[in-house]
Chain A
Amino acid sequence: MGSAGQSHGLITARDAGLVACQQCGQVHPLHARICKRCEGRLRSRDEESLQKVWAWLIAGMIAYIPANVYPMLLTSTLVERSESTIIGGVVELVEYGSWGIAAIVFIASVMIPVGKFIAIVYLALSVQRRSIANQHERHKAYEVVEFIGRWSMIDVFVVAILSALVQLDTIATINPGIAALSFALSVIFTMLAAQAFDARLIWDANRTRQ
Chain B
Amino acid sequence: MSDPTPTGPAPFDVRPVKKPIWQRLSLVWFVPLVALAISLWAAWQSYADRGTLITISFENASGITAGETVIKYRDVTIGEVEDVEFSEGLTDVLIHARVDKKVAPFLDDDAQFWVIRPDVSVRGITGLETVLSGVFIEGNWDTDADVAQTQFTGLEQPNLTLANQRGTRVVLRADDGGSIAAGAPILHKGIEVGYLEKPELSFNGRQVVVNAFIESPYDRRITSSTRFWDTSGFSVSLGAGGVSLDVNSLASLIEGGIAFDTVVSGGEVIRDGHRFDIFDTEQAARDSLFTDPNAEVLEVAVLFEESVSGLAVGSEVRFQGIRIGEVSNLNAIVVGDGDNAQVRLQAVLAIEPSRMGMGSDATVEEALELLSDFVTRGLRARMVTGNILAGTLFVELTTIEDALPAIMNRTSGDFPVIPTTDSQISDVAATAEGLLARINALPVEELMDGAINLMDSFERLANDEYTRATPAALVALLDESRELIASDDIQAIPRDLRDVIADLNGLVTEATELGLISDIDAAIATAAEVAENIDLATRNLPQISANIEAFTTRANELELGALVTSATASLDSIDAFLGTDDAVAFPAEANAALSTMRALLDEVREGGAVENVNAALASANQAARAVEDAVSTLPALAARANELVDQTEAVVNSYGERSRFSAETLATLRDIQEASDAISSLARTIERNPNSLLIGR
Contact = CB atoms under 8 A, between A and B. Distances in A.
A55 B133 CA distance: 46
A52 interface: yes
Interface stretch (B24-32, B306-314, B561-569): B24-32
Given A58-B35, A58-B36, 19 more contacts: A48-B24, A48-B26, A48-B28, A51-B25, A51-B28, A55-B26, A55-B28, A55-B29, A56-B28, A58-B32, A59-B35, A59-B36, A62-B36, A62-B39, A66-B39, A78-B132, A80-B134, A185-B35, A189-B31
18 contacts: A48-B24, A51-B26, A51-B28, A51-B29, A52-B26, A55-B28, A55-B29, A55-B31, A56-B32, A58-B36, A59-B31, A59-B32, A59-B34, A62-B32, A79-B132, A79-B133, A80-B68, A80-B133
Q: Which of B26, B31, B39, B134 is most buried by chain A, counting CB atoms within 10 A of its CB?
A: B31
A55 B32 contact: yes
B42 interface: yes
Contacts of A111: none
B68 A81 contact: yes
Given A48-B24, A80-B68, A66 B29 contact: no
Nearest to A77: B132
Contacts of B31: 55-56, 59, 189
Contacts of B42: 66
A66 B40 CA distance: 11
A141 B39 CA distance: 30
A63 interface: yes
A110 B639 CA distance: 110
A63 to B, nearest CB: 6
Contacts of B134: 80
A65 interface: yes
B68 A51 contact: no
Contacts of B68: 80-81
Interface residues of A, number: 19
Contacts of A48: 24, 26, 28
A145 interface: no
Contacts of A35: none
B35 A63 contact: yes
B609 to A, nearest CB: 118
Interface in B122-164: 132-134
A179 interface: no
Contacts of B24: 47-48, 51
Interface in A24-59: 47-48, 51-52, 55-56, 58-59
Contacts of B39: 62-63, 65-66
Nearest to A82: B68
Interface residues of B, number: 16
Interface in A75-106: 78-81
Q: Which of A62, A65, A81 is most buried by chain B, counting CB atoms within 10 A of its CB?
A: A62
A41 B24 CA distance: 20
Contacts of A202: none
A196 interface: yes
Contacts of A185: 35
Interface of B: 24-26, 28-29, 31-32, 34-36, 39, 42, 68, 132-134
Contacts of A47: 24
A59 B28 CA distance: 10
A124 to B, nearest CB: 13
A154 to B, nearest CB: 22
B552 to A, nearest CB: 90
Q: Which of B26, B28, B34, B35 is most buried by chain A, counting CB atoms within 10 A of its CB?
A: B35
Nearest to A61: B32
Contacts of A55: 26, 28-29, 31-32
Contacts of A56: 28, 31-32
A173 to B, nearest CB: 14
Contacts of A196: 28
A189 B35 CA distance: 10
Contact of A52 (B28, B34, B35, B132): B28
Contacts of B29: 51, 55
Contacts of A58: 32, 35-36
A177 to B, nearest CB: 13
A176 B39 CA distance: 18
A56 B36 CA distance: 12
A58 B37 CA distance: 12
Nearest to B38: A62
A60 to B, nearest CB: 8
Contacts of B32: 55-56, 58-59, 62
Nearest to A178: B42
Contacts of B132: 78-79
A95 to B, nearest CB: 16
Smallest CB-CB A-B distances: 5 pairs = A59-B32, A58-B32, A55-B28, A51-B26, A62-B35
A80 B133 CA distance: 6
Nearest to A66: B39
Contacts of A78: 132
A210 B385 CA distance: 135
B34 to A, nearest CB: 8
Nearest to B28: A55
B275 to A, nearest CB: 48
Nearest to A55: B28
Contacts of B36: 58-59, 62
A185 B42 CA distance: 16
A196 B32 CA distance: 14
Contacts of A189: 31, 35
A43 B541 CA distance: 146
A58 B36 CA distance: 9
A55 B26 CA distance: 9
Q: Which of B32, B34, B36 is most buried by chain A, counting CB atoms within 10 A of its CB?
A: B32
Nearest to B19: A47
Interface in A175-194: 185, 189
A56 B28 CA distance: 7
Contacts of B35: 58-59, 62-63, 185, 189
B364 to A, nearest CB: 63
Nearest to B42: A66
A115 B34 CA distance: 24
Contacts of A79: 132-133
A79 B133 CA distance: 6
A47 B28 CA distance: 13
Contacts of A65: 39
Nearest to B11: A210
B265 to A, nearest CB: 56
Nearest to B30: A55
Contacts of B28: 48, 51-52, 55-56, 196
A82 to B, nearest CB: 8
Nearest to B43: A66
A48 B31 CA distance: 15
A12 B98 CA distance: 64
A59 B133 CA distance: 40
B596 to A, nearest CB: 123
